[in-house]
Amino acid sequence: MTRILEVDPRDDGALRAWYDVLHAGAIADRTAPIVSTYPAMAYSLRYPGATLRRLAVAADEGGQSVGALLFELPLKEDLATVAVEIDVPPPHRRRGLGSALWAWALERAERENRTI
List, for residues 40-88, the tens digit of each pLDDT value.
999 999 999 999 999 999 999 999 999 999 999 999 999 999 999 999 9
CATH number at residue 48: 3.40.630.30
The reported pLDDT for the residue numbered 5 is 97
Helix (H) or strand (E) holding 100: helix 97-111
- Give yes or no for a contact between 79 and 109, defined as CB atoms under 8 angstroms apart: no
Q: Tell me the residue type at 57.
A: V
65-92 core/surface letters (b: 16 or more CB in 10 A; e: else): bbbbbbbebeeeeeeeebebebbbbeeb
Residue 69 lies in a domain: yes
Task: Give yes or no for residue 12 having a pLDDT over 90.
Answer: yes
Total domain count, the chain: 1
What percent of the chain lies above the pLDDT cut of 70?
100
Domain coverage including residue 64: 2-111
What percent of the chain lies above the pLDDT cut of 90?
93
Residue 58 lies in a domain: yes
Task: Give yes or no for residue 32 having a pLDDT over 90.
Answer: no
Residue 25 lies in a domain: yes
Residue 89 lies in a domain: yes
Helix axes 38-46, 12-27, angle to 10 degrees: 130
Residue 116 lies in a domain: no
